[in-house]
Amino acid sequence: MKEIITSIEIRSNPEKVWKVLTDFQLYKYWNPFIIEIAGSPTKGEKIKIELRTAAQKTRVYRPVITKVDPPTELRWHGKALLPLILNGEHIFTIQENEGHDSIFTQKEIFKGLGAYLGNARMFNDIRKSFQMMNSSLKIRAEGY
């Protein structure tokens, strides 16, 4: 198992952050990492995600949304075509801090052979991609 976790403080309430996070149709206008999502933030929905990492690698995934808990948590789970190669659970959480602002956390839990065999460059690219998205979400939610 391998985990990548990033967080950012956003000067906006969790409801506004949630609204930006779950408006999938607008990702193409602000999100440099997840450049498109087809589908809706509904538990059980199979969505199509197009990613562009910080290293400009593009990929398409088709995970299933496993948790929708407004305005605090959104999760999806994806599997590789071949079993046991690489599965990932992507988790977004939004917590209200003392000042009624938000702490946004993005986390991926990788399981399977790919989690053990993946190189540091790949995981660093993913971490940088998360940080790019976090910063863009902060700008968008604070300007909302």
Domains of the chain (ranges, CATH numbers): 2-142 (3.30.530.20)
Kindly tell me if the per-residue pLDDT of 1 is higher than 80.
Answer: yes
Higher local confidence (pLDDT), 85 or 36? 36
Instruction: Tell me what pLDDT residue 119 has.
Output: 82
Q: Which of 16, 36, 38 is nearest to 104 (CA)?
A: 16
For 71-125, what is each residue's pLDDT tens digit? 999 999 998 766 678 899 999 999 999 888 999 999 999 998 778 777 889 899 9
Distance, in Å, from the CA atom of 138 to the CA atom of 29, rounded to the nearest integer, reads 14
pTM of the predicted model over 0.75: yes
The pLDDT of residue 83:
64
Give, for 105, the enclosing helix (H) or strand (E).
Answer: strand 102-111
Q: Which of 21, 90, 99 is nearest to 62 (CA)?
A: 90
In the predicted model, is pLDDT for residue 64 greater than 90? Answer: yes
Q: What is the mean pLDDT of the segment spanning 11-38?
A: 98
Least confident of 8-22, 40-54, 81-95: 81-95
With contact defined as beta carbons under 8 Å apart, do 42 and 69 qualify? no
